[in-house]
Every structure is written in C-alpha cells, then in structure tokens.
Amino acid sequence: MADEILFVVKDLGGTRNVAPVALELAKLGPSLDVHVIANGKAHEILPMLPDPITEFEVFDSAADVLDAYPKPRIMVSSMCSEGGIGRDLIPLLRGQCPTVVMPDSPWGRYQKEWADHSFWSDWLLVNDKRCESIAHALWHGFPGSQIQRLSWPFLDQFCGYDISAATEDVRLNLCPDNSMPIVLFVGQLNHTSKVLQEVISEINRLERRRVYLIVRLHPRMDEVEGRACEEAMKLFSNGVLISDSRRYKTLRPLIAAADVTVSMYSTALIEAAALRRPSIAALTEPGLCAFYEDIGLKIKPSWPGYIYEIDNGLALSVALSCALRGDLQKGLRRHQDANLPVDGQNAKRVAAFLLQLPSL
C-alpha cells in the first residue's frame, strides 16, 4: 500500500508555498500517494499557479478528511489566516503521524489563529534565522530542534525568470517613456490609503524626477478603503499614475520592471528581493497599525537586511531617492543572496526532509 501524504492549502501565499513540494513528491511515483486538499480560496488558486495543480480534493472539515484518509504517513499544511482544515487536523493527528506546518512569511499566524498549543505542529519549516527567532519568541516552548530552515519553496518560481523580457513588456504596454523610473506601490488592507498618501507625498517632493507610479491594490480591500485610496491617488502630481495594471495577472513582471517596490509588509517585498530588486517596507505609524491589526504580533516587523525598512517620512524620502539613483540595491544584494536562494531547489529540499521523517 502506498504511503498517503496529505498537503492542505488555503490562502494564496500558503498555497503557492506548499504546492511545489506536493508536485516534487508526486514525481517520485506510485510509492507515494500524494493528495492535495484545498480549502478557502485554494481551489481557485491551484489551477492558476505557475506549475498548476488540477487534481485536488475539497473537504468541508478536518473530520471529513480523516474519514477519507484515516492513517496518513505525513500531513503538511500551509499556515494561513483563519486556520482552516490544515490547522484543525493537527490535534486530530497528534501521535498518529508527523504534522508539518509551512509559514510563507516571517510572521506566520503565530499570535492569532495558530496561537493555541493544540494547533502546534510537530515540525515547523521556515526560511531563515529571523523567521526562526520569531517562531521562538511567539511559540514560546516549541522545541527548537523541530524548527528547520529550508527556504521558501515559492521562491523557486523566480529561478531563471527573464527580468529583461518582463521589463521590456511592461515598458511597452504601461510605461513607454524610458527616461521615467517606475515606482510600484502594492497595497494591502486597512490603512493602505494612509501609507499610499505618504508615499505620494514624498514622490511629489522629488526634484527634477518625474516617475511612473503603478498602484496595485489588494483584491480583498473593502469599498471604504478603496475609495480612500482613490482619493489619495488624486494627490499624485509628479509623473504618470497607473491605477489599472490588470493585464498582468501576477505582480512578478511589475516588480521586475519597477525601479523600486513599496508596500507595508506584503510578501511582494520578498518577491522583489527574490528577483534581486530593491524594495521598501513603509512601516510608518499607519503601516505598523496595519501590521499589528492583521498579524497580531507584539514585535516590530523586520527582515534580515534584504528589504529596506523605514519608519518615518524623511527616511522614506531618502530611500526613494536612493532607489531611483540605483544606490539602494547595493546595500541589499548580499543579504538577498544570503537569505533568499533562488536556485530552483527549495521544494526539493523540503521534499527530501519530509521523506526522512520517521512514522509515529
């Protein structure tokens, strides 16, 4: 009988981080019976991934999963908002098989939906030392020997990505004046309009430097915040505003073409670093408010040097100027290389780790 390995995914970030590992194990053939279980929006996301998954199952509850697969060899879950079936399976499988959780950002959901000890997995797979230290601080008492730094599998999609071709395409279709640099602003949910207004204010102050400002808002942003963002965009006066970039289904080509990507704490900043492009985390007062409300952490967000962090308007102004001169990336590159491997092997490394886990 084949070993059943369950992969449970829910949100966009978690799905794209876990799915490549499922694909790697599925390549090993009939000795492994790999099952991808979608809840939340994952059923819409899986077929649209760079390496799409079209064969998956949808269940209504963790109990339904165990009715179908009562004795899996391993259960792997993304760490998504509102928990979901993957989280709910952990206490049901305690002592039955190894459970593995894969957060797709440094913050995970440690302080919110996954805070209760009953939802702590046997293993936690993180990207770097900073991610590990956050897990230690927020899951106090979780065994350090059961945290593994194996890098994010979602970074594999950036291996060999043609930045020049993407830039040429964006320049042709959105930003034809090559003399004007591109600033990409990636919105999130609450407080996005306030941060956007701060960014626009600093861009407007740039002397003799007109820019293309591409604003990409979050698809789940509510109407009130969306209208506030529209009002903020009306204040832009130093170049060309592009508020509709929907011709590009993903952020990747826009990040590749941008001279700098700005957001609060979005994983788009990590994507920019993976493409070895500069990015700025705008953690001014509204940015921090958004972070604390969303993630629930009691510590200030920070990355190990591969994203430039600012906490006030003056620092934002300086960072934008440095980025548009091409200087910001010089200080970020070595940290990007050290912390974000894009050799296309991250999913393979996680798959190899899973295969050596002993059965309980």
Contact 152/17 with Cβ under 8 angstroms?
yes
Rounded to an integer, what distance in angstroms lies between the CA atom of residue 114 and that of residue 109? 6
Specify the amino acid at residue 251: L
Specify the amino acid at residue 241: L
For the chain, residues with pLDDT lower than 70 are: 1-2, 297-298, 360
- In the chain, CATH 3.40.50.2000 covers 3-157+343-355, 161-339
Q: Can you identify the CATH homologous superfamily of domain 161-339?
A: Glycogen Phosphorylase B; (3.40.50.2000)
* pLDDT, position 28: 86
Strand partners, 34: 5
Contacts of 106 (CB under 8 A, 6+ apart): 126, 127, 128, 130, 131, 134, 301, 303
* pLDDT, position 2: 67
- Yes or no: domain 3-157+343-355 corresponds to CATH 3.40.50.2000: yes
pLDDT one-digit tens code per residue, 171-217: 999 999 999 999 999 999 999 999 999 999 999 999 888 999 999 99
Specify the amino acid at residue 94: R
Contacts of 169 (CB under 8 A, 6+ apart): 253, 257
By CB atoms closer than 10 A (0-12, 13-18, 19+), residue 218 is middle
